[in-house]
Structure 1
């Protein structure tokens, strides 16, 4: 029976007193610690992990706990387990395993035994990426619309404030006009009572009636004949050649 005392993925020693450092077997046959076995390496939506050595996907139900506390039942030369990982792998493979585990350059161990992704899973992931991109576009459009709405609302509030100011100003001028019109009518009545036969220059007798009807009536008297005679006399005769 051939066993290891260190994890095949992180090269850390197994410890029976630490639950995360106990050895566990994967469906692919590799033995790793519990922390490496439970480390999610695929998308969280698939609820699957991937072996850090051969990249074979598996679920958490496929992890089996191992117990190496009992001695090997055989008496062969491989009874005693190696103490370090360097006794199993050359230095180059050890470095490559560390690089592949830490996100470095690709190695033979990182590309060994890889399996293609499930078509259904691939299409689902592509659909998720597409929906996320469309959602980001819609969020940007919504943000632009809200910004434009706030800008238009501010402009509308300013215009409404100006309209209210103009309305109050028009009402003020209308009150002044009514006050002056009442004063003018009172003055005309007083002058008419004092001078019954007098005509006010430039104003017709029906001035008060026209003001009540909110309009002004202007009357022009025709010119007298004597003024026409004087005008014709002042015109020189035509020149005879």
Structure 2
């Protein structure tokens, strides 16, 4: 499991530590593997597309994406020599990226929090399900595209708030 809080991160397939020599890689379904495990799955698949070992969704060698992260060195600094400023837990949340949410959707989301949507009166979990799907889509987008640490951190905080 890949963690963003500096604790030990392991490949869920082989249980090897992620390190500068063993970088994490994401497949389209959002699961994270080390490069040797992802490559082995692709090479050992004889018929059809390779499948994720966790959710069985198909992927290709070209769809595997390297996740770039800095690993702490022995002195506590990051591996690149540069450090990313961190926000204190009490600081305000990072603003949402405007491209992710059209203005009318944001207005609808904020107004629906106060007044339930007519279709959700029969099922109170509809709003929660929609939020879960939206968060899942954002996680997938972050996992498949080169993303800045600020966006990943904001998404992590939003997921922790939701859980």
What TM-score, normalized to structure 2?
Answer: 0.37
Larger RCO, structure (CA 8 Å, separation 6 or more): 2
TM-score, normalised to structure 1's length? Answer: 0.26
